[in-house]
Amino acid sequence: MGIFGVIGHPISHSMSPIMHNCEFKKLGCPHHYTAFDVHPDNLKNAIDGMRALNILGLNVTIPHKVAVMEWLDEIDEEARLIGAVNTIKNENGRLIGSNTDGEGYLRSLKELIDHPFHDKNVLIIGAGGASRAIVTALARYGVSRIDIANRTLQKAEQLAMHVRQFGKSNAIPLKEAEEKLSTYGIIVNTTSVGMSPNLPDMPINIHHLEKGTIVSDLIYNPLSTMFLKKAKEKGAITANGVGMFVHQGALSFEKWLGIAPNTERMTETVLKKLGG
């Protein structure tokens, strides 16, 4: 039997254990996945423990995604570009860090849009860790332009500078994003605004949103944020954060075991858990 898990702090609400354990069971894999609450002071000990206990794979979540990089033996290209690790694979004691968040998001977007979207202008709201993974993946995929709007404009400017090594990107104030909303084909909320319990909050005003725009929100609790509800009312094509969550997990699973899990089944497991 192999042991897998997720490290974070706090971690009790993680849905990764149920998602991966259901999939192990369905595929007949004799493995177990568990959540480890690791205080930042204990991060190095936890990684040493991964080697000592021969834990085969870990997901890494807030607040360890950047700090953990220092303790790994190798970081793959995607994780290096994103500057954070969400997946560790233990290869005979050698720990390899990768990041499946950006590619996971991209896969969820490809499920939503059934044709290439290289011609789209994209608005990303937020400039935190999740935003960095997503803009890196979208820029490497090659969209027309990525504008980044954030409460703290300076963080958006830093991120836009990072994106410019792959393609066109600007940092803009939230107000400007609201006024230019009709110029975007894809709009993504990567902030925590609207997350439970702050249900009525919206990351931006969507007065100028055009019908048919793709609007996605990384939040999955609630399954439909006020931002998504209002966008849908205006005729947008909307998606919540479940797709990204499932696909980042599926990509980690594939890295660890070399087999692709059933993402439809994983989605069902997560939605059942979330009451959707």
* Binding stretches for ligand NAP (CB under 6 A): 62, 101, 126-131, 150-152, 155, 190-193, 195, 218-220, 241, 244-245, 248
The letter for the amino acid at 106 is L
CB nearer ligand NAP, residue 46 or residue 101: 101
Distance, in Å, from the CA atom of 253 to the CA atom of 261, rounded to the nearest integer, reads 7
CB nearer ligand NAP, residue 2 or residue 221: 221
Nearest to 189 by CA among 247, 234, 270, 244: 244
CA 34 to chain centre: 20
CB of 195 to ligand NAP, least distance (A): 5
Give 10-14 contacts, CB < 8 A, sequence gap 24+.
10/37, 11/35, 11/36, 11/37, 11/38, 11/61, 12/37, 14/61
CB of 92 to ligand NAP, least distance (A): 30
Distance, in Å, from the CA atom of 46 to the CA atom of 143, rounded to the nearest integer, reads 39
CB of 1 to ligand NAP, least distance (A): 27
Residues 167/139, Cβ–Cβ less than 8 Å: yes
CB nearer ligand NAP, residue 13 or residue 118: 13
Torsion of CA 86, 91, 92, 97, to 10 degrees: -30
Question: Partners of 75 in the beta sheet?
Answer: 97
CB of 262 to ligand NAP, least distance (A): 18
Distance, in Å, from the CA atom of 145 to the CA atom of 157, rounded to the nearest integer, reads 15
CB nearer ligand NAP, residue 29 or residue 133: 133
CB of 118 to ligand NAP, least distance (A): 23
Distance, in Å, from the CA atom of 189 to the CA atom of 244, rounded to the nearest integer, reads 13
CB nearer ligand NAP, residue 28 or residue 275: 275
Q: Around Cβ 153, how many Cβ atoms within 10 Å?
A: 15
Tokens of 62: 């807030």
CB of 126 to ligand NAP, least distance (A): 4
Active site residues: 65
Residue whose C-beta lies closest to ligand NAP: 128
CB nearer ligand NAP, residue 76 or residue 201: 201
